[in-house]
Amino acid sequence: MRSGRGDRVFAGGVTGLALIVPLTLAGITFLMVEAAWPSITKYGVGFLTSSTWDPVKEIFGAAAYLYGTLVTTAIAVVLAAPVAVGAAIFLVEYAPKRIAGTLSFLIEVLAYIPSIVYGLWGLFVLVPLFRENVEPSLQSLLGPVPIVGGLFAGAIGGRDLLVGGVILAIMIVPILVAVSREVIAAVPTAQREGMLGIGATKWEMVRGAVLPYARIGIIGAIVLGLARAFGETMAVTLVVGNSSTAITSSLFVPGYTMASAIANQFVEATGQLYFSAIVEIAVLLLIVALVVNTLARLLIRRVSAAPQGFAI
Amino acid sequence: MTAAALAPAWRVRRRRRVADTVMAVLLVVATAIAVGLLVLILGYLLVNGLPALNVAFFTERPKPFGVEGGGVGPAIVGTLIVSALAGVIAIPIGIAAAIFVTELRPGRWGGIVRFAAELIAGLPSIAVGVFVWSFLVRGLLGRYSALAGAVALAVIMVPIVARTTEEVLRLVPGSLREAALALGAPRWRVILRVVLPTARAGVATAAVLAVARAAGETAPLLLTALGNLFFSTDLLRPIAALPLQIYQYASSPYDDWHAKAWGGSLILVAVIAAVSLALRAFAPRGAR
CA of A82 vs chain B CAs: smallest distance (Å): 8
Residues 6+ apart with CB under 8 A from A170: A80, A110, A118, B37, B41
Lowest mean pLDDT among A69-78, A113-122, A135-144, B108-117: A135-144
Span B147-204, pLDDT tens digits? 899 999 999 999 999 998 998 888 888 888 889 899 988 888 888 888 998 888 888 8
Query: Can you name the residues that pair with A255 across neighbouring β-strands?
Result: A241
Q: What is the 3-state secondary structure (H, E, C) of A53-102?
A: EECCCCEECCHHHHHHHHHHHHHHHHHHHHHHHHHHHHHHHHCCHHHHHH
Q: What are phi and psi of A137, to 5 degrees?
A: -65, -45
| CA distance linking residue A143 with residue A152, whole number of Å | 6
Q: Confirm if A196 and A205 have CB atoms less than 8 A apart.
A: yes
Distance of CA A236 to the CA centre of its chain: 12
What pLDDT does residue A52 have?
Answer: 83
Percent of chain B at pLDDT > 90 equals: 30
pLDDT beyond 90 at B90:
yes
Interface contact A30, partner B, CB < 8 A: no
Q: Which CATH number fits domain B73-282: 1.20.58.220, 3.30.365.10, 3.30.9.10, 1.10.3720.10?
A: 1.10.3720.10
What is the SS3 assignment for A243?
Answer: coil
Does the beta-carbon distance from B134 to A279 stay under 8 Å? yes
Tens of pLDDT, residues A192-232: 999 999 988 999 999 988 999 888 889 988 988 888 898 88
B217-265: pLDDT as tens digits: 888 988 888 887 878 878 878 888 889 889 988 888 888 888 889 999 9
Packing angle, helices B125-132 and B146-171, rounded to 10: 130
**Per-residue pLDDT at A173 exceeds 50:** yes
pLDDT at residue A9 above 60? yes
Give the nearest chain A residue to B210 (CA atoms).
A112
Cα B190 from Cα B178, distance rounded (Å): 9
Closest residue to A285, CB basis, from B124, B189, B216: B124
What is the band of B288 on the pLDDT scale with cuts at 50, 70, 90?
A: very low
Q: Do B96 and A13 touch (CB under 8 A)?
A: yes
pLDDT value for B2: 55
Residue among A259, A3, A65, A94 at smallest CA distance from B125: A259
Give how far Cα A229 sits from Cα of A172, A265, B85, B125, Å.
7, 20, 29, 12
Q: How far apart are the first and last CA of chain B?
A: 47
What are the beta bridge partners of residue B226? B239
Question: How many domains does chain A contain in total?
Answer: 1
**Contact yes or no for B71/B58 (Cβ under 8 A):** yes
Buried b (16+ CB within 10 A) or exposed e, B88-107: ebbbbbbbbbbbbbbbbbee
Contacts of A203 in chain B (CB under 8 A): 19-20, 23-24
**How far is the alpha carbon of B86 from chain A, nearest alpha carbon, in Å?**
15
Q: Which residue range(s) make up the domain with A185?
A: 5-310
CATH number of the domain that residue A19 is part of: 1.10.3720.10
